């Protein structure tokens, strides 16, 4: 029996193609990291690996494999749409809505019109457009223009997180890219349907407008149903892995359903009924993020699964790129890339003027929107799959433009954030918000405390009575000689500038320090290590927090016995866990209820203190400026929450 690959069952062929592609994808993920090290975007690395592995080069991914693995592309596109919708959180955008709306509208109108006019003007010089009818050229011009409008929310958020940027310019940037992504996908659904009528040899009829409106409405209704389905998936008892699989399956079923509707209507009616699956998925995730209690779990799944999905999607997309087409259309690529930059400059200036933004913002307002990535590539891939022949050449040009935007966009956005003075990191990557503690007394415990605080980005200084030359020459810490406990002596060594004072001298000396601080400085956070219980009430009366080593040790042992996990977490004994108090300084969160905070999934609110009094807090408790929020979670997540709540 002659058993060949072509004679195998189609299911076995898909499994073989999937196994072979898995090897390529794993290699792409590993090799792609090296592109990031040389300051190139990860997706560029994935696209290049896909190109090298594709049919025109090594042939590791055959042309037939791309057809059989189309379902992976569908799953990835649905996931990318889920990621976009999860970022469209209305309560985060409310304070900059005027600027967001004006910038979004100006960019959509200006960029779309100018790019469409440019591509239509170049139609006779573009090989794959020269043979089209007039209506076909108009359709392709509109498709190119709508893809050119799209930014990249993922890349924008990555740059903001990297630089810990906060401010009105940053807020507007993230709002515009998310809102624009949502609106453009709706417009793409309309233009895509319209383009099919313009390109196919059929008469344009007014009833088509009705069908386009009906398609958008039906996509919205289906999106709400998908949102309810996602809510149910997130509510079931099970591991995050199970929920992740079900969410990916939901995205694939959306594509399967919309494609089935398209096929059946084209067979039984005069023209097909196209429901844009990207729009359905975006609306579904928007519902989860804004109208359910599962938004944090959903965002965690998106964050954890994203890297794997992006490797698969961009590697597959890279395999679709034709080197011959790329070589013949490089000039058109550069022209569209340059034209898009010009349109963004014009649109950014118009939008900033309408919103009444400062002059500086008007000059740099275009820079956050250069970058393109996932959704843009996805739309190009959709067109390549829909139109055999010229569709692939079209996709190659648009993907090449997207790669250029992905290379030049992030550096421009970083530079703009620095110009806007909204970057909150030093060159070494640490936070620019300094907190200072002064420790009275030099001993092993005080030095261990200082080293721990420095690791958490505190500035530590010591005040010592009669320190030895060896102590004064310490290169590890800043040491001051304490000449006395009076007002002038403490002022001279900078006590007034400290956020916290830690007194580790004798009880009598600590008492003098607390008395002077209480009378002259008013430092709110003074910690005293107690030696004699007779002084306890006196220190409390002076507003100090008292640590009795003997009682503290007994209490600590008791809690470690009764609640070992919680106590270990609060004491920082777990390497990746910590607990912190954060003062709310960011006015954007004033009046926001605790249930509406987009906290990472591994962060828990322990308490809220207002006016030195703890309040009974629940999901509907509304925060106020000056509240002290106590949280526990991983250090990385707590650092992000601290930055959000303390603001800029």
Which letter, b or e, does each residue of 127-166 get, where b requires 16 or more Cβ atoms within 10 Å of its Cβ?
ebbeebeeebbbbbbbbbbbbbbbbbbbbbbbbbeebbbb
Residue 297 shares a structural domain with residue 346:
yes
Q: What is the CATH number of the domain that holds 468?
A: 3.40.50.720
Residue 554 forms part of a structural domain: no
The per-residue DSSP string of 400-467 comes to HHHHHHHHHHHHHHHHHHHHTT---B-TTS-BS--EEEEEES-SHHHHHHHHHHHHTTEEEEEEESS-
Which of 202-211, 361-370, 405-414, 624-633 shows the lowest mean pLDDT across its residues? 202-211
In terms of DSSP bridges, do strands 500-503 and 526-529 run parallel, antiparallel, or are they unpaired? parallel
Provide, rounded to the nearest whole percent, the portion of the chain with pLDDT above 90: 2
pLDDT exceeds cutoff 70 at 94: no
**536 and 582 housed in the same domain:** no
Shared domain for 297 and 382, answered yes or no, is yes
For the segment 201-216, the average pLDDT, to the nearest whole number, is 65
547, 576, 608 - which closes a domain? 547
Considering the chain, what percentage of its residues have pLDDT values greater than 70?
83
The pLDDT-based confidence of 203 (bands split at 50, 70, 90) is: very low
Residue 615 falls within a domain, yes or no?
Answer: yes
User: Is 309 contained in some domain?
Assistant: yes
Q: What element of type H or E holds 213?
A: helix 207-235
Are residues 56 and 10 located together in one domain of the fold?
Answer: yes
**Residues ≥6 apart with Cβ < 8 Å to 221:** none
Q: Are 517 and 495 in contact (CB under 8 A)?
A: yes
**What distance in Å separates the CA atoms of residue 184 and residue 179, rounded to the nearest whole number?**
9
pLDDT given for residue 440 in this prediction: 92
Cα–Cα distance, 149 to 236 (Å, whole number): 39
Do both 375 and 309 map to the same domain?
A: yes
| 393/443 Cα distance (integer angstroms) | 72
Same domain membership, residue 355 and residue 381 = yes
pLDDT of amino acid 178: 78
Domain contains 557: no
- pLDDT higher than threshold 50 for residue 630: yes
From 436-440, 532-536, 599-603, the region with the lowest mean pLDDT: 599-603
| 374-400 burial code (b ≥16 CB/10 A, e <16) | bbbbbbbbbbbbebeebbbbbbbbbbb
- Give the pLDDT score at 183: 83
Residues 182 and 270 in one domain: yes
Please report, for residues 41, 288, 345, 366, 395, the alpha-carbon distance to residue 154 in angstroms, rounded to integers and kept in the order given: 12, 19, 21, 17, 21
What's the CA dihedral at 466, 470, 475, 481 to 10 degrees?
A: 10
Q: Which has more confidence, 335 or 598?
A: 335
DSSP label at residue 619: T
Rg over alpha carbons for the chain, rounded to the nearest Å, is 30
Residues 405 and 444 in one domain: no
Q: How confident is the model at residue 544 (pLDDT cuts 50, 70, 90)?
A: confident
pLDDT, averaged across the chain: 78
CATH number of the structural domain spanning residue 139: 1.20.1530.20
pLDDT for 569:
59
- Same structural domain for residues 25 and 81? yes
Q: How many CB atoms lie within 10 A of CB 566?
A: 14
Q: Which residues of 263-280 are buried (b: 16+ CB within 10 A; e: fewer)?
A: eebeeeeebbbbbbbbbb
User: Last residue of some domain: 384, 419, 454?
Assistant: 419
Instruction: Please report whether residue 515 resides in a domain.
Output: yes
Residue 517 lies in a domain: yes
Helix (H, G, I), strand (E, B) or coil at 89: coil
Q: Three-state DSSP class for 474?
A: coil
3-state secondary structure of 538: helix
Span 557-594, pLDDT tens digits? 776 677 666 666 556 555 566 777 777 777 667 777 77
CA distances from 466 to 460, 472, 479, 506, 522 (A): 19, 10, 11, 14, 26
Question: What token pair was written down for 370?
Answer: 């250069």
pLDDT at 425 over 70: no
Model confidence at 429, in pLDDT bands (50, 70, 90)? Answer: very low
Task: Compute the Cα dihedral for 300, 304, 308, 314 and give only its sign.
Answer: positive
pLDDT at 572: 58
Say if 137 falls within a structural domain: yes
Per-residue pLDDT at 4 exceeds 70: no
Mean pLDDT of all residues in 47-56: 78
Q: What is the pLDDT of residues 136-161, one digit of tens each?
A: 888 888 888 888 888 877 677 767 76
For residue 554, name the pLDDT band (cuts at 50, 70, 90). confident
Write the pLDDT tens digit of every residue in 28-38. Answer: 777 777 776 66
Residues with Cβ within 8 Å of residue 497, at least 6 apart in sequence: 436
pLDDT bucket at 204, cuts 50 / 70 / 90: low
Tell whether 58 and 171 lie within a shared domain: yes
Helix axes 134-149, 374-386, angle to 10 degrees: 160
Structural domain boundaries enclosing 200: 5-419
d(CA 416, CA 15): 47
Say how many CA atoms lie within 13 Å of 203 toward its Cβ.
Answer: 3
Reading across the β-sheet that carries 577-583, which strands appear in turn? 577-583, 628-634, 604-610, 613-615
**Residue 210 CB neighbours (<10 A):** 10
Q: Looking at mean pLDDT, say which of 17-21, 111-115, 165-169, 379-383 comes out highest.
A: 111-115
Q: How confident is the model at residue 522 (pLDDT cuts 50, 70, 90)?
A: low
Query: Higher pLDDT residue, 235 or 164?
Result: 235
If asked whether residues 446 and 373 sit together in one domain, one would say: no
Is 552 domain-assigned?
no
- Listed residues 497, 522, 547: the one ending a domain: 547
Query: 369 and 452 share a domain?
Result: no
Average pLDDT over residues 302-310: 81
Q: How many domains does the chain have?
A: 3
């Amino acid at each position: 029996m002659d058993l060949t690959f072509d004679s195998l069952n189609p299911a076995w062929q898909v499994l073989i193609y999937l196994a072979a592609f898995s090897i390529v994808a794993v290699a792409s993920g590993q090799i792609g990291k090296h592109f990031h090290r040389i300051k190139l975007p990860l997706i560029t690395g994935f696209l290049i690996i896909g190109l090298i592995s594709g049919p025109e080069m090594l042939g590791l991914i055959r042309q037939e494999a791309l057809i059989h693995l189309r379902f992976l592309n569908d799953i990835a596109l649905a996931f990318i749409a889920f990621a976009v919708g999860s970022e469209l959180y209305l309560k985060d955008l409310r304070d900059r809505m005027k600027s967001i709306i004006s910038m979004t509208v100006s960019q959509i109108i200006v960029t779309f019109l100018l790019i469409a006019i440019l591509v239509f003007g170049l139609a006779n010089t573009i090989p794959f457009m020269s043979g089209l009818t007039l209506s076909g050229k108009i359709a392709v011009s509109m498709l190119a223009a709508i893809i050119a409008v799209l930014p990249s929310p993922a890349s924008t958020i990555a740059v903001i997180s990297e630089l810990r940027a906060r401010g009105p310019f940053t807020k507007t940037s993230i709002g515009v890219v998310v809102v624009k992504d949502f609106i453009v996908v709706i417009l793409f659904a309309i233009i895509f349907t319209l383009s099919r009528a313009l390109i196919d040899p059929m008469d344009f009829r007014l009833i088509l407008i009705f069908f386009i409106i009906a398609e958008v409405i039906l996509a919205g209704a289906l999106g709400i149903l998908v949102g309810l389905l996602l809510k149910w998936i997130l509510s079931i008892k099970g591991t995050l892995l199970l929920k992740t699989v079900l969410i990916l399956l939901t995205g694939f079923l959306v594509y399967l359903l919309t494609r089935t509707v398209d096929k059946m209507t084209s067979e039984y009616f005069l023209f097909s009924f196209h429901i844009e699956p990207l729009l359905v998925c975006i609306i579904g995730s928007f519902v989860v993020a804004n109208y359910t209690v599962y938004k944090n779990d959903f965002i965690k799944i998106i964050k954890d699964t994203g890297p794997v999905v992006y490797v698969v999607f961009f590697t597959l997309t890279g395999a679709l790129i034709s080197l011959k087409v790329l070589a013949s259309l490089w000039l058109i690529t550069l022209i569209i890339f340059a034209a898009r930059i010009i349109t963004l400059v014009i649109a950014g200036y118009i939008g900033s003027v309408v919103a009444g933004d400062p002059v500086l913002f008007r000059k740099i307002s275009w820079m956050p929107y250069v970058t393109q990535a996932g959704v843009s590539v996805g739309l190009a891939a959709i067109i390549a799959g829909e139109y055999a022949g010229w569709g692939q050449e079209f996709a190659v040009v648009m993907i090449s433009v997207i790669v250029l935007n992905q290379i030049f966009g992030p550096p421009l956005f970083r530079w703009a954030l620095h110009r806007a003075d909204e970057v909150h990191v030093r060159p070494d990557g640490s936070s620019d918000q300094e907190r200072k503690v002064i420790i009275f007394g030099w001993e092993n415990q005080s030095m261990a405390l200082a080293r721990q605080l420095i690791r958490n980005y505190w500035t530590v200084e010591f005040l010592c009575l009669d320190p030895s030359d060896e102590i004064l020459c310490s290169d590890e810490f800043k040491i001051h000689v304490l000449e006395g406990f009076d007002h002038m002596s403490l002022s001279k060594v900078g006590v007034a500038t400290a956020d916290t004072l830690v007194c580790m001298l004798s009880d009598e000396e600590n008492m003098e320090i607390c008395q002077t601080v209480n009378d002259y400085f008013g430092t709110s956070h003074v910690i005293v290590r107690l030696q004699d219980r007779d002084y306890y009430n006196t220190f409390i009366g002076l507003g100090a927090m008292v640590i009795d080593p003997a009682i503290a040790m007994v209490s600590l042992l008791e809690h470690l016995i009764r609640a070992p996990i919680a106590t270990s977490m609060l004491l920082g004994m777990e390497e990746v866990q910590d607990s912190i108090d954060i003062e709310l300084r960011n006015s954007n969160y004033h009046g926001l209820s605790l249930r509406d905070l987009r906290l990472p999934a591994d962060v828990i609110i322990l308490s809220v203190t207002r006016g030195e009094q703890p309040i009974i807090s629940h999901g509907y408790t509304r925060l106020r400026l000056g509240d002290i929020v106590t949280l526990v979670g991983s250090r990385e997540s707590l650092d992000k929450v601290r930055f959000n709540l303390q603001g800029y």
